[in-house]
Amino acid sequence: MERLECSSPAYAPDLLATVRGSGTRRLLLLGHLDTVVSHADHRPLERVEGRLVGSGTIDMKGGIVLALGVMRVLAAEPEAFAELALLAVTDEEWRTGELAHAARFAGYDACLCFEGGELAASGEDAVVVRRKAAATLSVHAHGVAAHSGVAPERGRSALLALAAVAQRVAEQADPAGPERLTAVPTVIRSGEAFNVVPAAGELICDLRAERLESFAPVLDAVPREHEGATVEAELVRRWPGMDTRERAAAPLARASELLGRPIVAGERGGASDASHLAVHVPLTIDGLGPLGAGAHSPEEHVMRDSLRSRAEVALALTAATLA
């Protein structure tokens, strides 16, 4: 067991558990323990009919449970692997920089990430082999304060500047285009009093596309000034895309054969640490967690019956990647 310094400052240490075997291949099991829910609002786990309801259940403590189960099974068969590692990080939901530990797993034969699972449209078990790149655009506006009732014309509104930028960013979206770019303003903060022209403010936008390079035109589209207010923009979070469809095809076929039912390749727009690992471990497969819904909401849950079926998927894929 190792406690690794987290990629994000002031976070709890990450956890790396490693088991040595006598085989030839190395496998990484990957997940995260943090949620987007504050401690005060955290909902303890409870059983509600066929669901396990609680904060972080599907995103992604249910996946950590399955990863630990896979590790327990393999630990009893050390001849099946040379090295088995489980990495559980504490900052996936909020990290703005790089995943500091990714490069240390270069040379591993496979990485299995246990973000929440899914079913294909036709009902088959699915895993994730393709993800969009993701970035966070931060925009700051600086204007001039003035009394909004006495002399509003003396002010330069940071709020109006940010509103204009938000509209400009949204216009860059082209989800049906070759880069499948989405550009969504998500948070705006400005103003300190109801009767003062806002002198400062911040806008946050969520960007997704096929490649990190696809975000450059969005950044270029942000004006540097709007009606006297200055505007500054930067990308404060960059997550690479992931496309392991070609590498994953053979292991998926083998796992389907072992399982006796199909496991199909899927894709997802959300970001994941699997994208960082795929840069160093070409055979990276994600979405091995249980089925559920409501991530980041009070009703977040795992479907209890899916723990068994998704454990079967995880074990079949593990066997296929180690073969």
Average pLDDT on 291-309 reads 96
Chain center to CA of 166: 23
If DSSP codes are grouped into helix, strand and coil, which group holds residue 31? Answer: strand
Q: What confidence tens digit (pLDDT) does each residue in 45-72 have?
A: 999 999 999 999 999 999 999 999 999 9
Amino acid symbol at 142: H
- pLDDT for the residue numbered 271: 84
Rounded-to-integer distance, Cα 166 and Cα 291, Å: 35
pLDDT tier at 312, thresholds 50, 70, 90: very high
Q: Residue 275 pLDDT more than 90?
A: yes
**Cα end-to-end distance, the chain, whole Å:** 26
Rounded-to-integer distance, Cα 43 and Cα 300, Å: 9
242: nearest Cα among 212, 215, 274: 274
Rounded-to-integer distance, Cα 288 and Cα 311, Å: 8
pLDDT tier at 231, thresholds 50, 70, 90: very high
pLDDT over 90, % of the chain = 95
- pLDDT for the residue numbered 96: 85
Q: What confidence tens digit (pLDDT) does each residue in 83-109 have?
A: 999 999 999 998 988 899 999 999 999
Give the H/E segment covering residue 285. Answer: strand 284-285
Number of DSSP helices (H) and strands (E) in the chain, helices first:
6, 19
- Which are the contacts of 122, defined by CB distance < 8 A and separation ≥ 6? none
Rounded-to-integer distance, Cα 282 and Cα 61, Å: 25
Domains of the chain: 2-132+241-322 (3.40.630.10), 133-239 (3.30.70.360)
Q: What confidence tens digit (pLDDT) does each residue in 242-264 have?
A: 999 999 999 999 999 999 999 99
The two tokens of residue 281 are 């471990």
Residue 207 near residue 243, CB atoms below 8 Å:
no
Q: Residue 187 pLDDT more than 90?
A: yes
- Which are the contacts of 293, defined by CB distance < 8 A and separation ≥ 6? 58, 299, 300, 301
Q: What confidence tens digit (pLDDT) does each residue in 114-159 have?
A: 999 999 999 999 999 999 999 999 999 999 999 999 999 999 999 9
Residue 140 near residue 236, CB atoms below 8 Å:
no
Rounded-to-integer distance, Cα 274 and Cα 287, Å: 9
- DSSP character for 111? E
Give the H/E segment covering residue 237. Answer: strand 229-239
134: nearest Cα among 89, 87, 92: 92
